[in-house]
Structure 1
Amino acid sequence: MQGKQDTLEVYTPEFFLNPETLYVQLRASRPVCRVRLLNGTEGWWITHYEDVKAALKDSRLTKNPHSVLPASELEGIDADVRHLYSLITSHMLFSDPPNHTRLRSLVSKAFTPALIEQWHDRIQSITDALLDAVQPRGTMEVIHDFAFPLPITVISEMLGVVQEDREQFKAWSQVLVGNTSTLHALLPVISEAKAFLNYLFALIEQKRESPADDLISRLVQAEEAGDQLSADELVSMIFLLIIAGHETTTNFIGNAVLALLQHPDQMRALQEDPTLLQGAIEELLRYDTPVFSTTNRWAREDLEIGGQQIRRGELVLLQLASTNHDEQIFQDADTLDLRRQANQHLSFGKGIHYCLGAPLARLEGQIAISTLLRRMPNLRLAVDPHTLTRRPAILIHALEKLPVAF
């Protein structure tokens, strides 16, 4: 076992612009290291592929913050705020078996692969409409005009949310996506969280009284061995689906378009041979993953990973973006190769928390990328790539803007 480490200041402007430089250094010298988070607290980064893959399946790491939350975390916190945090974190992403097994089983009955496949034509229609709107002007900002509205429209329609509420969803999700992992992180955005949850409670009641052919109605009606989701569980699950259902896909599409523009030979290959599409999507997910790391895990007991002692209650962040460039796993890891075979990237996780929405993200990505390249064959960056900026966030790997011309 190695000795106590200094805490690294990792979340720098340089890191957000070029994370791989730091990941290379850490994989070589400190694959399990203490880091300071953006809110000033500390946690652990794990950067090697095999360590992360094992940790994703390690039951000694809990996803449930309440199981390791120290009493001091609650001191001086209003009871209503504690209840709000409990609501937001009672979905399956922040739970362990057996509760996770129960929640995932119920949600899986509503969010099925067959349901997702039925949306193929509608996703194509939304994609075409978005490109119709910008094609006459010869330019667009990919994030605002395409990568955001496509998945938010899809998940909103799937859930049964009306169009006029989608911009508000964007505002809520951008505020809340990085501020719900701990109770103290939630405090600055309490008003936004309350407004979002109140909206969801009202929407659920509406669907109870007037069920429709949508995902919220299916979730309300989902049953397993006489068991159903409670009102609180429904709100928390819909909160997860709305944020996870569009935020990561937005970033995936934006990152994928930029990667192709910066590798014109690969973009040409995909344009000339559409049969590459399925493998290309996996390679684009690997090369510039939409998330830096998994959501939070905490050590439920003292344990050792990569020779480092991690104490009970300490936060662990598994760096997916690093694993996808691990030279021990991927040959020429820093090369974008749309013909790469046996692409075992970890962008959707592994184990019981493997992303339930992965089939939807893949379908949206396939349709978005293939349609964009087919309809706009002369697609090119409209700005110096060095002027592009990333959102400073612990979990999300997101471009602020991506201006293009065609």
Structure 2
Amino acid sequence: MSATTPDLEADPSAPEHRADPHPLLRDMRERAPACRRRCPSTGRVLWYVTRYADVQRVLLDPALGRQLDRLPPEAAAFHRRFEHDPLAMVRRNVFNLDPPDHTRLRRLIAPAFGPRTVTALERRVHTVVGELIGAMAAGGPEADVIEALALPLPLRVVAELIGFPLDDLDRLRGWSDDMLRSRDVTRVRRAGVAFVAYASAKLGERRARPGDDLLSRLATSPELSRAELVSSVFQLLLAGDETTVNLIGNAVLELLRHPGQLRRLRERPELIDSAVEEALRYNGPVGHSRPLYALTGTEIGGVPVACGDVVVPVLLAANRDPAVFDRPDTFDIGRTPNRHLGFGHGSHFCLGATLARIQARAAVGALVRRFPGLTLAADPARLEWTPELFLHGVRRLPVLLKEGAGA
């Protein structure tokens, strides 16, 4: 870095920025194409990339990769000193791999999330949403949108898509909460081990007696190792659903924080599609994409990045870049065009994006229709957010319910 651009002292993931990271991200975006921060506890160098065009280029750059074992041995050994991941057993999936392994796995999984398959699921999504919204109404007058709607919806839908018995949903939900929402390393590891045993057993059953579901197609594929099989199921069922949970929660929160836009959606329900896209842009469910390793020396917007440094493409910042978006800090459910990067970019563009959109449109649309008096039941400034920037959403979203006469 030049003398005029010192290292970044603020940590974008620090608790004081979690509720609203955008002021800091705006400062970073205006400051430089890439802002360097040296992690005090490890000494690792992180480059935060915040401008739209630079984030796009970084996500396409072959000089950057997700796999530690592609680094030169000394650089890889340095990072391994700090890689104490209690869920390492389920990380060999498309999210964490580079070509050619990424290409091979994605080719096998992608058909299950193709437009024809996902569109066929849309009726089921609306049925599940109706059941969940009905349960919220019966249990009113207050409900937690995350607990009652955003969390159970994607787990039920994707479990059916994969081929897991619905009787196992409570167990799957418990493991999901422990692995992805607990910060207790012991609980995370214990749940991970239990899930691996469960998934391995189900894969074995499908291998012996294949059915017409994704789990059977994965189990009978000769191209996947055991680790890749279990890791892929983990990503699809548990890790993947967090994006949808946060998307639904953030969309409802922003509508409630912007009553004029909520009123506009009620008056023009056909705006639900663009409302979900605007939620993805304005305060999306993923703060940054998977951090990337510089496999060789490279540069970002003219800023040199050394081999072994970590590059963090910040989607939240790119999606408010005034070079691309008019009035970027305005929540506008009718925004068009809206070329956001909420689901990433390039070869790692989210596999489940179409399904996530369908679920968010169904859930948010039904909630707005059923409860015309919907209001927040908590101070927005006191909501608890996810502890890291990567997954960006509220842990709870208490609301007061008021049904309409025609509900």
TM-score normalized with structure 2 length: 0.89
User: How big is the shift at 1:110?
Assistant: 3.3
Q: Report what 1:55 is aligned to.
A: 58
Q: Secondary structure at the match of 2:240?
A: helix
Unaligned runs of 5+ in 1: none
Change (3 A) 1:33 1:167: farther
- Describe the SS at the equivalent of 1:23: helix
**Is the counterpart of residue 263 in structure 1 residue 262 in structure 2?**
no
Q: Is the Cα contact below 8 Å between 2:150 and 2:249 reproduced in 1?
A: yes
Whether the aligned pair in 1 keeps the contact of 2:52 and 2:324 (CA below 8 Å) is: yes
Tell me the amino acid that sits aligned with residue 127 of structure 1.
V
Q: Give the distance between the partners of 1:245 and 1:72, measured in 2 at CA.
A: 29
What is the SS of the residue equivalent to 2:9?
A: coil
1:70 paired to 2:76: yes
Separation in 1, partners of 2:322, 2:85: 43
Match of 1:324 in 2: 319
The equivalent residue for 2:9 is: 8
Task: Give 2:216's aligned residue.
Answer: 217
CA separation of 1:97 and 1:285: change in aligned 2, threshold 3 A: same
Contact 2:49 2:311 in 1 (8 A): yes
RMSD: 2.7
Superposition pairs of residues 68-107 of structure 1, within 5 angstroms: 68=71, 70-72=76-78, 85=88, 87-107=89-109
Q: Say whether the 8 Å CA contact 1:49–1:324 is kept in structure 2.
A: yes
- Residue 84 of structure 1, CA deviation: 7.4
Q: Does 1:142 align with 2:145?
A: yes
- Which amino acid in structure 2 is aligned with residue 203 of structure 1? K
- Higher mean displacement: 88-97 or 170-179: 170-179
Among residues 227, 237, 241, which one is paired with 2:236 in the alignment? 241
**Residue ranges of structure 2 left out of the alignment (5+ in a row):** 402-407
Q: Which structure 2 residues correspond to residues 153-168 of structure 1 after superposition, within 5 A? A: 153-168=156-171
After superposition, the C-alpha distances for 1:230-254 in whole angstroms (9 at most, x for unaligned) are: 3222111111112333111001000
Could you say if the C-alpha distance between residues 397 and 212 of structure 1 is closer, same or farther in structure 2, counting changes exceeding 3 Å? Answer: same
Give yes or no for contact 2:18–2:389 (8 Å, CA) kept in 1: no
The 5 A counterparts of 1:6-405 are: 6-10=7-11, 11-35=13-37, 40=42, 42=44, 43-68=46-71, 70-72=76-78, 85=88, 87-136=89-138, 137-177=140-180, 189-221=188-220, 228-405=223-400
Per mean C-alpha deviation after superposition, the further-off stretch among 158-167 and 343-352 is 158-167
In the TM superposition, what is the alpha-carbon distance from 1:115 to its structure 2 partner? Answer: 1.3
Q: Secondary structure at the match of 2:95?
A: helix
Q: Quote how far apart the aligned CAs of 1:208 are.
A: 1.3
CA distance in 2, matches of 1:228, 1:250: 31
- Tell me the distance in 2 between the aligned counterparts of 1:179 and 1:341: 38
State the alpha-carbon separation in 1 of the partners of residues 105 and 368 from structure 2. Answer: 39
Report the Cα offset of residue 106 of structure 1.
1.2
**Matched residues, percent identical?**
37
CA–CA distance in 1 between the matches of 2:20 and 2:178? 24
Tell me whether 7-16 or 198-207 shows the greater mean CA deviation: 7-16
- Aligned length in residues: 394
- Residue by residue over 1:331-356, the C-alpha shift from the partner in whole angstroms, topping out at 9 and shown as x without a partner, is 11011111111100001111111111
Counterpart-to-counterpart distance in 1, 2:57 and 2:181: 25
Is the CA contact (8 Å cut-off) linking 1:320 and 1:346 kept in structure 2?
yes
